[in-house]
Chain A
Amino acid sequence: MLKLLKIELFKIFKRPRTYIAFGAIAAIVFLIQVALKFDGKSYVDLLMSNLSGSFEFSDDFKGRLLNGYLICFVILNTLLIQMPLLVALIAGDSIAGEANMGTLRLSLTKPVSRTEYMLVKFAASVVYTLALLIWMAALALFGSMLIFGTNDLVVLRSEGIEQMKSFDVLWRYFAAFGYAAVALTTVSALAFLLSVFAENSIGPIIATMSIVIVFTILSEMNIPIYDTTVKPYLFTSHMVAWKGFFYVKADAEGTTINGSIENLPAVLKSLGILVAYIILFFSTAVWVFRKKDILT
């Protein structure tokens, strides 16, 4: 299995198109970092303007606000919406791309079971997703920490602000990136499933993105009837739960409790739902593929 996985990764990372996603992430991160380096104050002013009625912020506070942790939070917020497309590019190509090239039939005449083949293909797309996230973490988190330094992280919420001490932030990012890996693997599993039905990779990629977009719109819509009937069952509703790692508990005096997570059970529940979706998508893909006649 490991040998087969190495082969899959070799094939993925030998294709120039694989690096488009890495280039896109680097470009977006770089553009955000450059913009905030030269005009960060305007951005913070804009950010604080919503709260200026209730709070008074000193320039010193605003200055400390613009640090590597905040920049990473901004980047994560921006990129985690776009990343499903980048992930679908590879996962949607997994089986359909092989069918399109004609290499699927040759591969399946080798002494490898279809289940093994699917496991390896999916594992390779998960490794690719992880590589993208590590790349993003390296640029967005460590890059921003290097350029902007570190300080307390302030996160805006509709009901106010969350402030975390500098020493209490890094582990939250690791947890958020871990969660994002599961969320993106869900998209990857969906694209992988759709890839089984297609004979070229464009179809599954577009279909995956269409589903993600429609589900995201439904997740974000404020229609009360959907809140209990539809939203809890959409995987996109749970993909944004990584933000839960940045919402902290406060004591009776309103002071932030270091190391706390406001609603850990909700985060874990969302995580569980995403894992269930991954299992559902992947096992359906294997079931379909095992029965499929290879006619390409």
Chain B
Amino acid sequence: MVPIIEVKHLTKSFRDLKAVNDLSFTVQEGQVYGFLGQNGAGKSTTIRMLLTLIKPTSGTIEIFGLDLQKHRKEILRQVGAIIERPDLYKYLTALENLRIFAAMSGIQISEKKLMDQLAMVGLEQRAHSKVKTYSQGMKQRLGIAIALVHDPKLIILDEPTNGLDPQGIADIRNLILMLSRDMHKTLLISSHLLSEMELIADSMIIIDKGKKLVEGKVNELFDPAETIVELKTTDDSETYNKLMQSSLKGFVQGKRNDCVLMKLHRNKVPEVMKELVRMDVNVISLHSKHSLEDYFLSLTTGQSNVEVA
């Protein structure tokens, strides 16, 4: 594996505030690398340093094996990015926006290629519409087309699904997977949508208050089969009491809203169901909630998502 991004001891201070604190991580070629953290954790500051928008206070960044400060232009020719939200020239059309940023990327590109790029993100029918008439999802897709127009090796997306509806999120997810699997791009994606990240990322880093909490492959960081089950019954208090007196007591995590929460391995679910029936519990619904979110919260806030009754 070839390292594409190597960040070492990166620190950024804004007066007294250390937005990023001694952060180190490596992104390998071909990876989809998740960059996770709560709002204000330092994700955007780090991404802005990777794109030379912010100068680090200390530390080094190497991209494609080159020092970012010394080889800025050479590196940025191979990088496509969206930072936070794709703000574009609203008074220009999608095609004009794409043409402008393609030219700024230093490439000569035909009108047909530009249209192909818009077709890839499903905007060919609206190529000549002004961006001010676009929905948030369309702007996001246009932003991705702009990030990809010069065929970069590395794509950096800062919260690419922000403000999108479920269909928009699914579209972006599929696009990212296509870029990774079919076009073999390296992607660094920041997000707070952990469930989304789990579906697309190979590796991830979780940061909080500018510091690394954990880094590694997604399937090594947590057991995807371990799940939080939300059990909704006709009387959650009674169900909770019954469960606490049963053989299932060890799985019970607590009570939240009108649900009882249980933490268990997926292959234990049928066994639990049988036991619930035997205990004469009137089950309305039972669904598993991913444990990654809980894992994330326990890392970043030091407490679980679950309220213990």
Contact = CB atoms under 8 A, between A and B. Distances in A.
B54 A3 contact: no
6 contacts: A7-B104, A11-B100, A105-B87, A106-B146, A107-B104, A111-B106
B158 to A, nearest CB: 10
B73 interface: yes
A109 B81 contact: yes
Contacts of A295: 48, 54
Interface residues of A, number: 24
Contacts of B82: 106
Interface string B53-80: 1110000000000000000111011010
Contacts of B88: 101, 103, 106
Given A105-B48, A293-B54, 16 more contacts: A4-B104, A10-B96, A11-B100, A105-B83, A106-B82, A106-B87, A109-B52, A109-B79, A110-B76, A111-B77, A111-B106, A293-B48, A293-B53, A293-B55, A294-B53, A295-B48
B308 interface: no
Contact of A14 (B48, B76, B91, B101): B91
A11 B76 contact: no
Question: In the complex, which of the residues A105, A106, A294 has the most CB atoms of chain B within 10 Å of its own CB atom?
Answer: A106
Interface string B255-273: 0000000000000000000
Contacts of B77: 111
Interface string A92-130: 000000000111011111111100000000000000000
B100 A109 contact: no
A291 B52 CA distance: 11
Contact of B105 (A14, A15, A111, A291): A111
A14 to B, nearest CB: 6
B244 interface: no
Nearest to B78: A111
B120 interface: no
B104 A11 contact: no
A100 to B, nearest CB: 9
Contacts of B100: 7, 10-11
Interface residues of B, number: 31
B90 interface: yes
A166 B302 CA distance: 87
A11 B100 CA distance: 9
A3 B103 contact: yes
Contacts of B76: 109-111
Interface in A5-64: 7, 10-11, 14-16
Interface of B: 48, 51-55, 72-74, 76-77, 79, 81-83, 85-92, 96, 100-101, 103-106, 146
Interface string A192-209: 000000000000000000
Contacts of B74: 111
B208 to A, nearest CB: 21
A148 to B, nearest CB: 39
Contacts of A106: 81-83, 86-88, 101, 146
Contacts of B54: 293-295
Contacts of A291: 55
A108 B53 contact: yes
Contact of B52 (A4, A7, A10, A108): A108
Given A109-B76, A110-B101, A110-B104, A14 B52 contact: no
A101 B87 contact: yes
A208 B116 CA distance: 44
A200 to B, nearest CB: 13
B106 A105 contact: no
B72 A15 contact: no
B69 to A, nearest CB: 12
Contacts of A105: 48, 51, 53, 83, 87
Contact of B91 (A3, A4, A15, A102): A15
A120 to B, nearest CB: 10
A15 B132 CA distance: 13
Q: Which 8 pairs, one residue from A and one from B, show the smallest C-beta to C-beta distance?
A: A102-B87, A110-B104, A294-B53, A111-B76, A111-B73, A293-B54, A109-B51, A111-B77
Given A102-B87, A103-B87, A109 B92 contact: no
A105 to B, nearest CB: 5
A11 B92 CA distance: 8
Contacts of A107: 101, 104
B53 A109 contact: yes
Nearest to A112: B104
B83 A109 contact: yes
A113 B72 contact: yes
Contacts of B87: 101-103, 105-106
A256 B53 CA distance: 61
Contacts of B55: 291, 293
A111 B52 CA distance: 10
Contacts of A101: 87-90
A56 B88 CA distance: 66
Nearest to B54: A293
B92 to A, nearest CB: 6
Contacts of A108: 51-53
A61 B104 CA distance: 60
